[in-house]
Amino acid sequence: MKKLGVSIYPSKSNVDEDKKYLELASEFGFKRIFTSLLEIDGDRDEVVDKYREIIEYGNSLGMQTTLDINPRLFDQLGVSYEDLKFFADIGADSIRLDLGFGGSEEALMTKNDYDLKIEVNMSSGTKYIDNVMSYQPKRENLIASHNFYPMKYSGLSREHFEKTTAQFNAYNLNTAAFITSQVGELGPWPVQTGLCSLEEHRHLPIEVQVTHYKMLGTIDDLIIGNGYASEEELRKAAEAFFSPHILLPVELADNITDLEKKVILDELHVYRGDRSAYLLRSTMTRVKYREEDFPVHTTGPVEKGSIVLGNNNFGQYKGETQVILLPIEDDGTRNIVGTITDDAIELLSDLKPWSSFKFIEVE
């Protein structure tokens, strides 16, 4: 994955608060800013000056701003798609076409004199990108992103997301999608219940959303759609995004031993490649800890998401770390030491064999 981003909405916010938010985000490694210029209410020059001020501040932090626009706005601003000087003058790095043109216009825009990137909409499900590409755009200036959806139940289904994303991956374009803060209330529209691309993410912790996209492996950049995310959310999103390994949140059992806790939390785990329908196996822990003592303590029937360690009754499998994928019976050989959190349990379906992962304890 490449870049993390945040969203700001200067037409609905305070410049000083926006600047504080961008400064905090930049401290955690966020490099992109998304903002919407779909409507300009009031004095045009005053609105533009406000956007310019906050964009230039973002630039000073090493962040790059995308402006969301549509063809109607070109008329409102008195701007032609043949000359994008207006957007370069206010400091934007790219302009996102919420509604596109006919294909030839987008291709021409990628060849602008200011090297602005043209970001096209990935969510429509049409042959739009094939049409744009047929007009030979300047590829390094063509990028893409999914929509976000403020209305509950209106976000993309997984099937549609995967189908449309594949269309853009086929051209090796930089892709982006939106994740949502669970505390942010600021967005471009009056009705808002989160601002995510995938509907299944709407109520998930932000770090779980990030981890899911890492597992899917088809999206380059992730942008928090609503403002303002909390400092904790920014930190957790960055940790999940920049980690070289998948981070799986776990709740540990109260009676876990110190040795078991060390095995679970301190070791890097790898999902064994010859996968089972029932078990996700991390086998190297049984090699490293083969001489250690794993007394039997808590065994029992286990469900999807349970984390178990082979105990002294498990012969050559003593010390092996396993995550349960389907319920299995109790034979007294596995100590139950924790569970994947309820919010993250469905991530197990998308974790690929040979993936490296770490368990992160949550309270």
pLDDT band at 73 (very low <50, low <70, confident <90, very high): confident
| Short-list 153, 154, 175, 180, CA closest to 164 | 175
Are 257 and 175 part of one and the same domain? Answer: no
User: How many folded domains does the chain comprise?
Assistant: 2
Task: Give the pLDDT score at 118.
Answer: 98
Are 271 and 236 part of one and the same domain? Answer: no
pLDDT for 40 beyond 70: no
pLDDT for 44 beyond 80: no
pLDDT for 12 beyond 70: yes
Task: Give the pLDDT score at 76.
Answer: 78
| Short-list 38, 27, 111, 25, CA closest to 72 | 38
Are 215 and 343 part of one and the same domain? Answer: no
pLDDT for 47 beyond 90: no
Q: Among 214, 243, 272, identify where a domain stops.
A: 243
Are 223 and 278 part of one and the same domain? Answer: no
**Mean pLDDT, residues 325-351:** 97
More confident position, 233 or 81: 233
Kindly write down the DSSP assignment for every residue of 7-24, as one continuous string: E--GGGS-HHHHHHHHHH
pLDDT for 55 beyond 80: yes
- The per-residue pLDDT for range 291-334, each reduced to its tens digit, is 999 999 999 999 999 999 999 999 999 999 999 999 999 999 99
Are 216 and 283 part of one and the same domain? Answer: no
Are 84 and 171 part of one and the same domain? Answer: yes
Are 166 and 279 part of one and the same domain? Answer: no
Are 192 and 300 part of one and the same domain? Answer: no
Q: Which of 58-72, 158-172, 252-266, 302-316 has the lowest mean pLDDT?
A: 58-72
| Short-list 221, 110, 111, 112, CA closest to 120 | 110
Task: Give the pLDDT score at 11.
Answer: 85
Q: Tell me whether strands 269-270 and 279-282 are parallel, antiparallel or unpaired.
A: unpaired
Any alpha helices (H) in the chain, and if so which ranges? 15-27, 44-60, 71-77, 85-89, 104-109, 128-134, 158-169, 206-216, 231-242, 258-266, 284-288
Q: Among 218, 243, 268, identify where a domain stops.
A: 243
Are 187 and 271 part of one and the same domain? Answer: no
Q: What CATH number is given to the structural domain containing 230?
A: 3.20.20.70
pLDDT band at 190 (very low <50, low <70, confident <90, very high): confident
**Mean pLDDT, residues 147-159:** 97
Task: Give the pLDDT score at 121.
Answer: 96
| Short-list 105, 226, 285, 96, CA closest to 174 | 96
Task: Give the pLDDT score at 39.
Answer: 64
CA distance 138 to 173: 11
CA distance 246 to 262: 18
Q: Which of 33-42, 104-113, 185-194 has the lowest mean pLDDT?
A: 33-42
Are 235 and 257 part of one and the same domain? Answer: no
Task: Give the pLDDT score at 42.
Answer: 67
Are 117 and 257 part of one and the same domain? Answer: no
More confident position, 190 or 52: 52
Are 269 and 220 part of one and the same domain? Answer: no
Mean pLDDT estimate for the chain: 95
Main-chain dihedrals φ then ψ at residue 227, nearest 5 degrees:
-120, 160
Q: Among 243, 274, 300, identify where a domain stops.
A: 243
DSSP type of residue 190 = S
CA distance 363 to 249: 10
**Mean pLDDT, residues 71-79:** 81
CA distance 7 to 117: 18
Q: What CATH number is given to the structural domain containing 353?
A: 2.40.100.10
Please list the helix, strand and coil fractions of the chain in percent, rounded to the nearest 5, in that order. 35, 25, 45
pLDDT for 41 beyond 90: no
3-class DSSP assignment, residue 178 = strand
Give the residue numbers spanning the domain of 216.
Answer: 4-243
